[in-house]
Amino acid sequence: MTPMLETLPEKLAISDIRDIVSGKNCPHIKNARTHKSTTELAFSILYDPDDALNFIAPDKETWCHWTDGFNALLGKPMVSTKATTDLDMLLTMEMKLRLLDLENIDIPEQPPPMPPLPKNYNFALQDL
């Protein structure tokens, strides 16, 4: 069961975050002797001049999701390899769509109409 936000003892508002740093720039990694793979998965959320929340992600994909998410919330560019790969894929798809237009294949200007809403929303998976 997920706790309600109001019941959590400690919270940090996004507006209080000054920056996010990763790798050797993290306060908990700077002076520590850690393995290179641990250093690559480390990131810290800086929220006070002397305070930070320090993390080590379990894998590279999780690190990419968290750091890209915080960078997006802070208005900074998402620079992980995952974000770069996803952006390249989207740009390639856009280019292919534009090339289809050159082959006299009609590409609609507007999206298709929304289908009707379901009569009920009781289609969530049930615990067995």
What pLDDT digit, counting tens, does each position of 72-88 carry? 999 999 888 889 999 99
Mean pLDDT of 26-44: 79
Q: What is the pLDDT of residues 53-66, one digit of tens each?
A: 888 999 999 999 99
On whether the CB atoms of residues 29 and 39 are closer than 8 A, the answer is: yes
pLDDT top residue among 50 and 1: 50
Strands (E), 34-128: 42-46, 52-56
Strands (E), 30-110: 42-46, 52-56
Residues 6+ apart with CB under 8 A from 58: 41
d(CA 70, CA 14): 9
pLDDT > 70? residue 90: yes
On whether the CB atoms of residues 71 and 83 are closer than 8 A, the answer is: no
Q: State the pTM of this model.
A: 0.62
- What domains appear along the chain, each with residue ranges and CATH number? 12-77 (2.30.29.30)
Tokens 């250093």 correspond to 39
Predicted local confidence at residue 34, as pLDDT = 67
